[in-house]
Amino acid sequence: MGRLDGRVALVTGSSSGIGAATARRFAEEGARVAGFDQNPAPDGGPELFREGDVRDEAQVAAVVRAAIEELGGLDVVVNSAGVGGGGPVHQLSAEAWDRVIDINLKGTFLVCKHALAHMVEQRSGSIVNIASIEGLEGVDGGSAYNASKGGVVLLTRNLAIDYGRRGIRANCICPGLIDTPLTAGITGSEAMRDFKQRFIDAHHLGRLGRPEEIAAAALFLASDDASFVTGHALAVDGGVTAGHAFGARKMMGLE
What is the DSSP annotation of 29-66?
Answer: TT-EEEEEESSPPPTT--SEEEE--TT-HHHHHHHHHH
Helix, strand, coil fractions of the chain, as percent rounded to 5: 50, 15, 35
2 belongs to a structural domain: no
**Does the structure show a pLDDT above 90 at 247?**
no
Work out the average pLDDT over 82-92.
94
First to last CA, the chain: 42
Check residue 29 and give its pLDDT. 98
Cβ(60)–Cβ(114) below 8 Å: yes
Cβ(37)–Cβ(12) below 8 Å: yes
Give the CATH number of the domain where residue 122 resides. 3.40.50.720
How would residue 1 be classed by pLDDT, with cut points 50, 70 and 90? confident
212 belongs to a structural domain: yes
CA–CA distance, 46 with 15 (Å, rounded to integer): 9
As annotated, the active-site residues are 145
255 belongs to a structural domain: no
Work out the average pLDDT over 5-34.
98
How would residue 197 be classed by pLDDT, with cut points 50, 70 and 90? confident
Count of domains forming the chain: 1
Per-residue DSSP letter, 106: I
CA–CA distance, 35 with 39 (Å, rounded to integer): 11
Work out the average pLDDT over 97-104.
98
Query: Angle, nearest 10°, between helix axes 143-163 and 94-101?
Result: 30
Cβ(27)–Cβ(188) below 8 Å: no
Give the model confidence (pLDDT) of 135-179 as tens digits: 999 988 899 999 999 999 999 999 999 999 999 999 999 999 999
Rounded to 5°, the CA angle 176-179-182 comes to 90
Cβ(62)–Cβ(110) below 8 Å: no
Helix (H, G, I), strand (E, B), or coil: what is residue 236?
A: strand
Cβ neighbours of residue 138 closer than 8 Å, sequence gap 6 or more: 146
- Name the amino acid, one letter, at 51: E
1 belongs to a structural domain: no
Residue 138 half-sphere exposure toward CB, CA atoms < 13 A: 7
- This prediction has a pTM of 0.94
Domain extent for 98: 8-250
- C-alpha distances out from residue 178 to 120, 157, 210, 237, Å: 33, 24, 6, 8
Give the model confidence (pLDDT) of 15-25 as tens digits: 999 999 999 99
215 belongs to a structural domain: yes
- Reference 168, options 77, 62, 80, 54; nearest CA is 77
CA–CA distance, 127 with 231 (Å, rounded to integer): 10
Greatest alpha-carbon pair distance for the chain in Å reads: 61
